Structure 1
Amino acid sequence: MTTMQRDGRKARGEKRRQEIIEATLRVIERDGVAGVTHRSVAREAGIPTASITYHFATLDDLLIATLISCARDMATEVYWMIDRARSREGLRRSSGSPYSGPSAADEVSALLAEALGPRRGRTMAEYELYLLAARRPSLRPAARRWLDVLTSMVKHDDEVAFRVFLAGIDGLLIQGLIDDEPPTAEELRPVVEYLLNPTERRRRARQEA
């Protein structure tokens, strides 16, 4: 087998794995984690059950891969959002001119509103997987992956403040999932802005002390 043939086979295998992961998330959206079996995922993906077991021998293997995929996507999305906000802030400071576009709080709020509105089913599926790790120790490293990946990607001046921010985002998403009506970006923005400004909170605390 030539190198080109091996690369092509590997690419096809990765494509099939991703199709299986996407099908797994759709099953969880519709039926919950309890509905995930090799057969149900194969049926959702429109492929033979043998293809699922070839790539993921056990259900834990499949759930771990799905968790890791969710973690990677979430970390990447948040990373680029933070990177854009920092770039805008750098340009604003270097030019000395005011910036009238969306702030970091605006972008985070919009992202959360989308996750709790149009993407509510996917968000619920991801958190159902996330919380399953509390009962399944084998899933815990994958469930922690998004926090570990994001913390390593973002060189933040205050790691404690950054972890508080991420914990707050988790809380907003979980609370939003049990609301009868999903919160809007405008409703989320004051809380997000508070989470994004630990320095200002500390300054006020010192003044009040």
Structure 2
Amino acid sequence: MAGVGVRSEQGRVDGRRAKGERRRREIIEATLRVIEREGVSAVTHRVVAREAGVPTTATTYYFAGLHDLLVAALTTAAEDYAAQVNELASTTRLTRENDVEVLAGLLAEATGPRRERTIAEYELHLLAARRPTLRPAARRWVEVMAEICRALPLSEVAFRALVAAVDGLLVQALVADTPPTAEDFRPVLEYLIRPE
């Protein structure tokens, strides 16, 4: 979206506001990279500023406290994942014929190429257990998983079991020495979706 400004009430492009939004997004992305690489405990205004290539005053201007920065990072991670899922949904309709394959592919992606980002998201989720103001952002990720699974012909109980199982599969995969492949996930998903 570089070069696109934010329109003011009068319809004019506000370049300063657009630049501010870009800078804010860069700081959030830098925060996520720090969490991916070193964990939540490594997040400080100074470390994030260095990662983003901005002065420390910029991080404190946009995010008064680290808590605000972490909430923004978790919210952004959840929204980015939601956008990815929506893109998948628009190109691949989840059906009874491909449901296991699509879900297995998503899990393999999350624990393979997206592994570090998934670890960062789980770290932020665990932090939300101790910090109530992070919980709405953490629940957004669960809602995204639920949106994927809602397309499946499952009872409410089976649906909730599937969402919980997917969470467990992801955690187990993240601590495995070798990331599982889509093939590794398929039998478990098959059983969860069609236990007959």
Verify the 8 A CA contact 2:146 2:163 in the aligned structure 1. Answer: no
Distance 1:4 1:138 in 2: 35
Verify the 8 A CA contact 1:82 1:104 in the aligned structure 2. Answer: no
Verify the 8 A CA contact 1:117 1:182 in the aligned structure 2. Answer: yes
Which of 14, 27, 37 is the equivalent residue of 2:21? 14
Alignment CA distance shift 1:78-1:166 (3 Å): farther
Structure 2: gaps of 5 or more residues: 1-7
2:58 is aligned to: 51
Verify the 8 A CA contact 2:150 2:159 in the aligned structure 1. Answer: no
Give 1:17 deviation, angstroms: 1.6
Name whichever structure is richer in helix by fraction. Answer: 1
Give identity over the alignment, percent: 56
Structure 1: gaps of 5 or more residues: 91-98, 205-209
**For this pair of structures, how many residues does the alignment match?**
186
1:116 is aligned to: 111
Alignment CA distance shift 1:72-1:194 (3 Å): farther
Distance 1:71 1:82 in 2: 16
Distance 1:183 1:155 in 2: 24
In the TM superposition, 1:55-66 aligns within 5 A as: 55-66=62-73
Verify the 8 A CA contact 2:149 2:163 in the aligned structure 1. Answer: no
Provide the aligned C-alpha RMSD in A: 2.6
Alignment CA distance shift 1:154-1:10 (3 Å): farther
- TM-score normalized by the length of structure 1: 0.77
Verify the 8 A CA contact 1:70 1:126 in the aligned structure 2. Answer: yes
Secondary structure of the residue aligned to 1:189 is: helix
1:31 pairs with 2:26: no
In the TM superposition, 1:47-86 aligns within 5 A as: 47-82=54-89, 84-86=91-93
In the TM superposition, 1:31-180 aligns within 5 A as: 31-82=38-89, 84-86=91-93, 89=95, 103-148=98-143, 151=146, 156=151, 158-180=155-177
Verify the 8 A CA contact 2:30 2:52 in the aligned structure 1. Answer: yes
Distance 2:91 2:158 in 1: 19
1:94 is aligned to: none
1:47 is matched by which residue type in structure 2?
Answer: V
